[in-house]
Structure 1
Amino acid sequence: MFWVGTYTGEAGAGEGVYRMRRRPGGALEAPVLAGAAVNPSYLATHPGKDVLYAVREEESGGILAYAVVDGRLREIGRRGAGSLPCHLSVSPDGRYLLVADYGSGTVRAVRLGPDGGFSGDPSVAEGHGRGPVPDRQEGPHAHATAHAPDGTVLSTDLGADLVRSFRIGGDGALRLVGETPVPPGRGPRHLVVHPSGHVYVVTELAATTLVLRPVNGYAGLELVAESPAMAEPPGGDTPCGAIKLGPGGRFVYTSTRGADVVTAHRVLDGGAALEPVADVETGGRWPRDLHVDGEWMHVANQLSDTITTFRLGGDGVPVPSGAPLDVPAPVCVIPA
């Protein structure tokens, strides 16, 4: 089963969080509304409990926690967040929910209770800095978080051209332990940690991928490679969306809006470099998040109200599997 986060109201035709099942042949079944919510654009699941978390992506934003009961969502907690919360992740030990607030540039760690609900007040780390793109980098814009093997929380700041490193103390406090600048104007958006230890970042404003190497644990990172986010030169407005690892870490996949493609990148040099090898049209408009599940990949096309399923061949190139499925304003696809 899969969960789909959507935009609602003026932002899109969704009504909340949807659930979907995949048939044995890879195709997804029609979506079913599991819980009404306002702009639950990004989702995350608890690693050990039937609990789902969602952002409420609004100027005065929030986060929601749901118990999953027979495929339906029962709210068990809500908290305020910063402006325009846009990304969630759960620490591998299931103790904290990490929230990236795009509008306010803040990152917060929310303690989770025994039932997976929220416990106490969050620890909030303020952002700072700006970049050279005046309409997008006038200030900090936290965009995503990821968890390194040593427990470090990594966060991209699109507005300040930084990757920040945090540690969560025994008291639950989120403490900044390092900052890694990326080339000006790139606008780092999403990131993943490869099994080799390298950190891969997709940039929204420059449509590139960055490879960072840990040099002091994950408190210190070093830029070792940069490559295009697409195999063919992009034209026009082509902001990148997501970056995800393929099976076994042999390939990495990115989505690019405007061009409306997903791109397969070959992992080279033991993880120290990426090479874009093929762009594949998504069959929809404005691909946002994507999910890789074994030999299958599902891509959320926000503006065409569809999700496209691909099969991943031995050469790593995605091959469309059937027609895009109608799903209202999909943004995020994650496994249940």
Structure 2
Amino acid sequence: MGERVFWVGTYTGAMGAGEGVYRVRRGADGALEGPELAGAAASPSYLAVRPGGRVLYAVREEDAGGVLAYAVEGGRLREIGRREAGALPCHLSLSPGGGHLLVADYGSGTVRAVPLGPDGAFTGEPDVVEGHGSGPREDRQDGPHAHMTAPAPDGTILSTDLGADLVRSFRIEDGRLRLTGETRLPAGCGPRHLAVHPSGHVFVLTELAATVLVLRPAGGADGYARLEPVAESPATAAGSDGESLAGAIKLGGDGRHVYTSTRGADVVTTHRVLDEGAALKPVADIASGGHWPRDLHVDGAWMHVANERSGLVATFRIGADGLPAPAGALEVPSPVCVVPA
């Protein structure tokens, strides 16, 4: 893949130097150009694009948070709807079939499903499932903290809860979001993000323990409602320093590699997939191209990493061996999330 357009979500106001959602372009040589402010918003830290690219969704990561829907009109964004969310919404994904927008509210620990019309616009009020539980880390696990949602192959929606050390499983039935199961993870690990491998295994990145857990669906009638831990490995090749915080996890396009970001250590780590997805092995760390890497996006032979505190989106070229090599960086104020337009 060569030339392509991306949206970048940022932190604004007291949380950062951004002003909203930015548009950047990648040339055939991998260099990023821009940024152009496409739509002003309060801390649109995480973004999701509706298939077809005509609607963009963004969280409004505030104490009294919300979600926004934009019509994409050339290089600009026009707001077409907004809904309230819980405190500090931090992640978005689309349900299988695109009928709902799934929102993880970190501050309130809630997960909500916002109904969408055929054109991608909001059509009703969200259905909300409350979180519960806590963990041993009093500074970060005083209560539930939903951090991500992602669909599984059978239509189950998986959600990480950093505060309660859980992966929760949901189904949307008759327009309602229904909790179908919970998988307890090691105490104090703080699950943050996850990715579902083509093998069906679920890779869970833990922020507080800085590990990657491999979970296997129980199968049968339970499907992804119940998951079984089968392996654990460090989030970095160098191992945990006890202070760094794991950030994001993404699959490589070849199915043989997985990539994670770690803040503090400021590295991106390449992991090799072993045993047909049943295990991972970290093989190499590389400097993230800035300070405090959050989300990363893998796009074929390219990778883009949002380095929040240094205001840089770094680009890497992924070699045939799966290892990324630096290929430049673009200044973007307080970048958090990079998604293709």
Distance across 2 between alignment mates of 1:235 and 1:158: 20
1:182 match: 185
Gap runs ≥5 in structure 2: none
Q: What does residue range 185-224 of structure 1 map to in structure 2 within 5 Å?
A: 185-215=188-218, 216-224=222-230
Letter of the 1:201 counterpart: V
1:329 match: 334
Residue 283 of structure 1: how far off its partner (Å): 2.1
Q: Is 1:14 aligned to 2:18, yes or no?
A: yes
Distance across 2 between alignment mates of 1:222 and 1:235: 27
Q: What does residue range 134-283 of structure 1 map to in structure 2 within 5 Å?
A: 134-170=138-174, 172-215=175-218, 216-283=222-289
Q: What does residue range 292-311 of structure 1 map to in structure 2 within 5 Å?
A: 292-311=298-317
Secondary structure, aligned partner of 2:142: coil
Contact 1:236 1:258 in 2 (8 A): no
Secondary structure, aligned partner of 1:233: coil
Distance across 1 between alignment mates of 2:53 and 2:303: 25
Secondary structure, aligned partner of 2:33: coil
The one-character-per-residue Cα deviations of 1:191-235 (angstroms, maximum 9, x if unpaired) are 111000000110000000010000131011000001000001232
Letter of the 1:233 counterpart: G
Secondary structure, aligned partner of 1:30: strand
Letter of the 2:317 counterpart: R
Distance across 1 between alignment mates of 2:244 and 2:323: 21
Letter of the 1:268 counterpart: L
Q: Is 1:73 aligned to 2:77, yes or no?
A: yes
Distance across 2 between alignment mates of 1:223 and 1:278: 24
Contact 2:111 2:129 in 1 (8 A): yes
Secondary structure, aligned partner of 1:31: strand
Residue 314 of structure 1: how far off its partner (Å): 1.4
Contact 1:266 1:275 in 2 (8 A): yes
Distance across 1 between alignment mates of 2:185 and 2:101: 26
TM-score, normalisation: structure 1: 0.98
Gap runs ≥5 in structure 1: none
Q: In proportion to residue count, which structure has more strand?
A: 2
Contact 1:62 1:80 in 2 (8 A): yes
Q: What does residue range 84-99 of structure 1 map to in structure 2 within 5 Å?
A: 84-99=88-103
Residue 184 of structure 1: how far off its partner (Å): 0.5
The answer to which of 229-238 and 243-252 deviates more is: 229-238
Distance across 1 between alignment mates of 2:157 and 2:93: 10
CA RMSD of aligned residues (A): 0.8
**% identical aligned pairs:** 73
Distance across 1 between alignment mates of 2:54 and 2:239: 43
Residue 121 of structure 1: how far off its partner (Å): 1.1
Distance across 1 between alignment mates of 2:96 and 2:39: 25
Secondary structure, aligned partner of 1:92: coil
Letter of the 1:185 counterpart: G
Letter of the 2:183 counterpart: T
Secondary structure, aligned partner of 2:254: helix
Contact 1:234 1:259 in 2 (8 A): no
Q: Is 1:39 aligned to 2:43, yes or no?
A: yes
The one-character-per-residue Cα deviations of 1:150-199 (angstroms, maximum 9, x if unpaired) are 100000000000000000002x1100000000010000000111000000
Distance across 2 between alignment mates of 1:320 and 1:310: 4
Distance across 2 between alignment mates of 1:236 and 1:197: 31
The one-character-per-residue Cα deviations of 1:127-166 (angstroms, maximum 9, x if unpaired) are 0000110110010000000100110000000000000000
How many residues are paired up?
334
Letter of the 1:335 counterpart: P
Residue 49 of structure 1: how far off its partner (Å): 5.1
